[in-house]
Amino acid sequence: QARIVAPTLVPEVPKLIEDVELRFPWAEEEMRLVFQKFDTDFDGEVHKDDMPAMILYLGARKSPPDAMRLVEVQTRYATLNYEEFVEFLGKYRDWDVAKLREEFKIADKDGGGFLDFEELYTLLKEMGYAPTLQSATEAMEAVDVDQNGQMDLVEFDGLREYLRKTEGLPKADVAELRTLYDKATNGSDATNREPAAEEVWRLTTFLGYSCGVQ
């Protein structure tokens, strides 16, 4: 009788950091809303000097001058239309991913393709994020797909996206801010939904910050 031999399970070898594909983080609606916000004269153009502010408004980290030179290379004109703005975001994303791979590899001390929580938290602070231990823990739990307590590059990029949406705040604080924001914008234009200056002052005062209404 033939003997049945169980197949040998070969552990999956992690991909090289350079081979890992990362998705584009911004949806069409999000990009259009930001473009419209900065198109203050409604001519279908935004000034290229606004690119740093628009990047921040989209939730990306503050960009150094070399990233903003991308728009100088892209066009010699002072303004960009929407299609050119999207093209710029694509170039910026390529730059950002290259930088992310480089920083991830430096933080990955043993070269295993994963970061533990201590490595992760240190890297986030070095990259300019300022999450608390609580918010970093919550973020890691939310995006650690296989729940192994480690982050690969794809999960880490997802964690940045998570922190982008929560501004590095714990979930409880985000929920409180959302409730207050919804109350403050109740009477605002539905297409704008930005609270008036007086409402912002009331919100910050309620949260314990000292500021003038101006």
Question: Average pLDDT of the chain?
Answer: 77
pLDDT band per the 50, 70, 90 thresholds, residue 162: confident
Per-residue pLDDT tens digits for 38-97: 999 999 999 999 998 998 888 777 666 777 789 999 999 999 999 999 999 999 999 989
- Output 117 or 77, whichever has higher pLDDT: 77
Is residue 106 classed exposed, middle or buried when 0-12, 13-18 and 19+ CB atoms within 10 A define those classes? exposed
Decide if pLDDT at 34 tops 50.
Answer: yes
Find residue 115's DSSP bridge partners: 151
**Closest among 157, 167, 153, 207 to 183, alpha carbons compared:** 207
pTM, whole model, 2 decimals? 0.68
Q: Which two tokens stand for residue 53?
A: 């502010």
**Closest among 144, 145, 142, 151 to 119, alpha carbons compared:** 151
